[in-house]
Structure 1
Amino acid sequence: MDTQQDRTSAPSSADRYRALFESMDEGFCIIEFFDGPHGPLSDYIHVEANPAYERNAGIPNVVGQKVREMVPDEADGWVELYGSVLRTGNPIRFQRELVATGRHLEVSSFRIGPASGRQVAVLFKDVTDRLRAEAAQRALHEQLEARVAAALAEREEAEAALRQIQKMEAVGQLSGGLAHDFNNLLAGISGAFEMIATRIAQGRSGEIDKYLSAGQGATRRAAALTHRLLAFSRRQTLSPKAVVVNRLLPDFAELVHRTVGPAIEVETVAATGLWPALVDTNQLENALLNLCINARDAMPDGGKITVETGNRWLDPRAARDHALEPGQYVSICVSDTGTGIDKAIIDRVFDPFFTTKPIGQGTGLGLSMVYGFARQSNGHVRIYSEPGQGTMVCIYLPRHRGEEDAETDIEILPVTELGHGEAVLVVDDEPSVRLLVADALSEHGYACIEAHDGPAGLRILQSNAKISLLITDVGLPGGLNGRQVANAARDLRPDLPVLFITGYAENAVLNHGHIQPGMEVLTKPFAIDDLVRRVSLLARTRAV
């Protein structure tokens, strides 16, 4: 039971308040506004402050001091802040520098009683050291970021140098492979011509057939080599059409069976509901056949080749892994049960003239051609392999949103029913090509007019000459390419058939536009019979 003495000795609320007021770490003061020379409530005086005020603000003996006398240059800002608390009654929290002492203060303020009392309480602490530490940490972080950026830049520079070395190595490998292969082919061609000339001079013309065959064979192999190189460099001439790849599988499977032999099992797996793809079907079959031949060579003791189609939806992450744009793709995969590829060299298998086969058993252009064809078709190719388990190579082609192209069968006229004196304009800057085309067509009843460049061909088209067909190279000198000549010809003669003859490299001039009906493309070098039949096809198309 408390005694009167106990109650008398207990501290009062005022004493407790004073003890707290005196001992708290934060600065505390009560200010009172008054009307000054600058207007109503334009100044305030410190009516009470604790000892921590000086420790935090750096100003001693503030009780009785007016703010405009203490910090005249900063007074307007402080009066505005605390004046808003007095007027509205809303407490505020903020950080502000007390410039006079260089202290950064974290402040909270609230009104005491009604506005008529004109008093505001201020509680604050010095956070200068904390802000300096934060600034030092930011500076250190920025310094570390700068060092990381410099290290990354140095690494990128080193990687770029390494890529350049690898590129030069690839160029050297490509150049060496080209020189080797073309020298062999040129030796066969030039040697065949020399022997033909020798036998004719000796009067032994009956013996020239074998040299003709040898020269023609070397020419065909040179054309095939050029085709593969241009496929790798993505500059071959493509004739894409919308097709569901599943429709190619039955005939393709038969071709693969005949190519790989009876020791290899061939299976096709066609996905249900396969989307159409916009692709050159002939070049796709060539690419897939290359993959099947590689698969056969990887299974010397027999095995199984599987050709499988599928629909693939690549999200942004998967597309990034495949070096493609996100979206829908058609995949055609060729897998085998062969020896597989060592991980140390799998990144090089698409390099031109790189091959894992023994010397003399592979050119090293097969996979590079597949890669170039896929990229030129706006797709990609990926390879997956495990040593001893087999290999799978997948070609990804973008989904075509339109309908599949209808098959069209146009009867080709027999060679004996071709020309009847119709005039054909031949535009090519190579005299030997013009000579061969003109002589070949003249043999079949056509009258040929020759032009050596685009402007010369256009002048003939602008004349009154009756022209039944235009044959033009795509890459022409004189400021007009073959596509521009053909467009001008169609403006002058809307129904004029056009046959483009191209050395592949001008493919962009054709494929980036639209080949109109009544136009065909023939790639160099071409067989004369093929030229004549293409002319027949165009003549027949115009007739119907």
Structure 2
Amino acid sequence: MARLPPKRPQPEVWLGISEFQATKVLDATSEGIYVLDPEGRCLWSNPAAAHIFGYESPQAYVGKQMHAVVHHTRADGTPFPESECRGLQSLRAGAGVVQSQEMLWRADGTSFYAEARVNPVYENGQLQFAVVMLRDITERLRLEEQYRHAQKMEAVGRIAAGTAHDFNNLLTVISGYTQLLLKDPPDPVRSKRLHGIKQAAASAAMLTRQLLAFSRTDPANPTVLDLNQVVASAEPLVRSTTGNQVELEMTLAPDLPPVIADFHEIEQALMNLVVNACDAMPQGGRLSIRTCAVASSPAALRAQALQPCACVLLEVTDSGIGMDEATRTQMFEPFFTTKPPSQGTGLGLAMVMSAVRQANGGVTVESEPGRGTKLQVFLPVAKELAVKAKAAAASSAPDR
């Protein structure tokens, strides 16, 4: 008996399966995909595009003119007319595939950068619709910019490393001659100017150390030290930095347990915190520096790989303008600053975090706009570090 060929599925049934499968695939992809009609209205969108735009569902903008939904305003806040949109112009001019980077807007009013690829679909020479594939590249651009800054700072670090020795020799000569001149018969005006020269030389030397420490061309030199001695060493420079407009209060707890850290890095970290605090109080205010021993570091520091342990606390509190949440989350990132370019490099707090991490410590921040800032540095006591090192060595030793 002849065998009949297998029965083919009905075209409409097969087509239905294909559409269902295609929709599932498009819905599952992480890349934003949506379809525009020739006038730029959204005909369809997958959930990923809605997520990128900040909407719970594509239904929030399907049927709407997408330029008005996500591309309505320039970076400077001025309106962006539809007639100037490159994507729509190219689409209506009958161009082929268009790829571009654009700044778009989310539903909550925040901006982001996107890489978009517009694929027009023609039938009989007429544009039927366009498929837009979209991805959020904000983080990628941020990392690229940070990498460019890092390359610049690496060059600065190399220059600093090459000139630091000679520069410090010059500063030593300046400081030495200034000190000799200060031994002459007192003259109030002259003495004030000489103290200014001495202070400037000390600030320049500290800046050199900061550049070297951040660029990691200056090796850390951790030693067992008393945090109070670090604060006491920096006190003259602290008082000079705060000036007459800022009321300074220093409370140093006696008999602090020792910590293991680089003296100059912690001293520089303290000065960076003081400078930041003073910048936050342009009209003056109160600055408090406090040290004490704490039985256990906060659990919040586990995110910084610091497990609860006995610590020494360095606390710097100011009555300044405070920070919002967005600033707090970025304040320790290299090159992040809210100051004008001529007033800040964005390295100060990054160097603080670097120095604290080198000492196996952690940092917490409390701040709100208009309510000042409290920044706490927790450094494990030397005994705790010794115990942990011994335990780590024992766990890594081979079995006998």
Q: TM-score, normalised by structure 2?
A: 0.46
Larger Rg: 1
Q: Greater relative contact order: 1 or 2 (C-alpha under 8 angstroms, separation 6 or more)?
A: 2
